[in-house]
Amino acid sequence: MSMKKIYIAITGGMLLFTSCEKLLVEDVRNPISNLYYNTPAGVEDGVKAAYGQLRKWYGGSQDVAWITNYGDEYTFGSGTFYVNDYDVGLNAASSASSGPWVAMYSAINTCNSVLKSAETVDMPTQLKNTRIAELRFLRAHYFFLLVQTYGPISIPLTPTESASNVATRSPISEVYKVIIADLDFAVANLPQTVTDYGRATTWAARHSLAKVYLTRAGSTAKEATDYARAATLAKEVIASNKYSLLSDFASIFTPGKNNEIIFSCQYDANPLAGGSVGNLGNYSHLWFGTGYDNLPGMQRDLANGRPYNHYRSTPFMQGLYNKSIDSRWEKSFKTRWYCNKPGTYTISGKSVTMALGDLAILMTDYEPTQAERNAARYTIISPSQQHGSSFPMSSKHIDATRLDVNNVNGFKDVIIHRLGETYLIAAEALMMDGKPGDAVFYVNELRKRAAIVSTDPTVTAANRLAMEVTAGQLSIDFILDERARELNAEYMRWFDLVRTGKLLERIKLYNTRAAPNIKPYHVLRPIPQIQIDRVIGGAKNYPQNDGYIN
């Protein structure tokens, strides 16, 4: 049975964990007996519940998407928006502050609650250790998201079972110790392969741990061996041969499983399954969409999505690719729309009759001449004509699995870890550890995969050769650019910029809306006011991050 099909078992069980937000909400109602979770079946359902919490971060939360994707790659599209712009709206009372916080502490409490039961339940030892390892893998992931976002945080390791107004912030060094201990256990006790697609493996834990070491190495809690440990773990995942780089970059994002995905957040079209954590589907397809349905020859359809215009690719992002040899531009961004509403329209002052499938919209990366515009039988949108609801859009989250054109619930899985990033973790860690000669191999393997393939093998070989770089070309800026080309729109850019110390520099250079407002303290998000208010002593005992006002 795949992980996609087992969430249905947890819809009732999840009620136990509504108390997980007691730290903030102080609502301890619990209509289900804890005794069920002291049984093998209860532990199994509880572990599934812990996986289900991933949806609160990946695809199910607009707040999370806001705080992870805006940066140098994406800016806000229509209207004005405080998270991208770093204006006064980004404060302790904002949903972008409280939403992710509440969601992840809810997820952690789910893990803690099931861990408490799993430690005493009568189950086969190997199975018990595997389930505990899954819970600790997930708990580490949730803590890791929190410490990157907020800095020093509370690190509860037992379930919250009654209302409390006592909490403290632990130093980030202590948070990382908990995360690493959990992941060390997961590495040692998770299986190499699973029959239920979606469950964590030892390789997913190794990838996670590599990224944790890489991130800690750029923090105040860094240790001398962090980069070396990150490189070793990433290389272990690559050398395992359990995963492979897909030859076609676009196929990574085709719905379903593939050999490049190490770990993902599962979604399911079954409404009972999808509703298990309070949201029915994956909403990512909405946020990256761009307006097309009001232009000649077009109407809203499943293939092109329902556009919310939240994530507009920046000129910097659009200019990062050598489009003559790098396939990732074409396979990451949609710039062409084909007629799905045949008829006769006026385009550039002339009457044009469009048939189904004719080119209707073309977004160019240059300014066409007037002669080109006059000759075109489709709408041309050049760089100077892009605006908040008209721009090249990320194609990674397009989801035609929805039930109808206006339905917001998508069912594509969200990729969390994939081998392409593992290569980049290895490269960055090796380069930062003073080994650019070793690092360049991993960069070039990824870049050669991305080269445009021709029907002429000689041209293909030339493209692959042209994509290679030398060790002398490597720098942290090059690594960041390569991560943008490879991983944009995959819920990690803000973390990348903070980890590498490049957030302010890159925002000021490439995000014109945010550039005037961003300050050094923005490398952390504000602690939610609802958290501070519910602690005895308020900000005295649970202080706000520097720069933000309570």
Q: Look up residue 428 and give its two tokens.
A: 């960055």
CA-to-CA distance for 11 and 27, rounded, in angstroms?
Answer: 19
275 in any annotated domain: no
| Domain assignment of residue 306, given as a range | 286-401
The pTM of the whole model exceeds 0.85:
yes
Kindly provide the residue ranges of all beta strands, DSSP E only, lying in 444-536, ordered along the sequence. none
Tell me the one-letter amino acid at 260: E
Task: Give residue 30's pLDDT.
Answer: 39
User: So what's the pLDDT on residue 280?
Assistant: 67
pLDDT at 270: 61
* Alpha-carbon span 477 to 501, nearest angstrom: 11
Would residue 153 count as lying in a domain? Answer: no
Is the residue at 480 inside a domain? no
157: nearest Cα among 182, 130, 134, 188: 182
Count of structural domains within the chain: 1
What local confidence, expressed as pLDDT, does residue 36 receive? Answer: 79
Is 197 within a domain? no
Q: Distance (Å, rounded) from C-alpha 521 to C-alpha 510? A: 19
CA distance 66 to 112: 28
DSSP per residue over 359-377, as a string?
A: EEEEE-SS---HHHHHH-S
Positive or negative, the CA dihedral 392, 397, 401, 407 is: negative
Pairing of strands 343-347, 379-381: unpaired
Q: Collapsing DSSP states into helix, strand and coil, what is residue 394? A: strand
User: CB-based burial of residue 402 (10 Å sphere; 0-12 exposed, 13-18 middle, 19+ buried)?
Assistant: buried
Instruction: Determine, yes or no, domain membership for 388.
Output: yes
Whether 293 is in a domain gets the answer yes
Tokens of 1: 């049975």
In this structure, the number of other CB atoms found within 10 A of the CB of residue 328 comes to 23
Distance of CA 251 to the CA centre of its chain: 18
Q: What is the CA radius of gyration of the chain?
A: 24
- Per DSSP, 34 falls in state G
Helix (H), strand (E) at residue 264: strand 261-265
Residue 266 sits at φ, ψ, to 5 deg, of -90, 140
Burial (CB count <10 Å: 0-12, 13-18, 19+), residue 193 = exposed
pLDDT of residue 90: 95
Collapsing DSSP states into helix, strand and coil, what is residue 414? strand
Q: Which amino acid is at 251?
A: S
Regions of the chain with pLDDT less than 70: 1-34, 269-280, 550
C-alpha distances in Å from residue 394, one per residue of 59, 246, 295, 385: 15, 19, 19, 18
DSSP string, 197-241: TTS--HHHHHHHHHHHHHHHTTSTT--TTHHHHHHHHHHHHHHT-
234, part of any domain: no
Tell me what pLDDT residue 162 has: 73
CA distance 435 to 471: 9
In a domain, 342, yes or no: yes
What does the block give as tokens for 508? Answer: 């000021």
Q: How far apart are CA 246 and CA 230, in angstroms?
A: 23
Pairing of strands 359-363, 336-338: antiparallel
Contact 354, 342 (CB under 8 A): yes
Q: What is the pLDDT of residue 34?
A: 61
Residue 188 Cα distances to 133, 204, 468, angstroms: 8, 12, 36
Distance in angstroms (rounded) separating the CA atoms of residues 549 and 529: 9
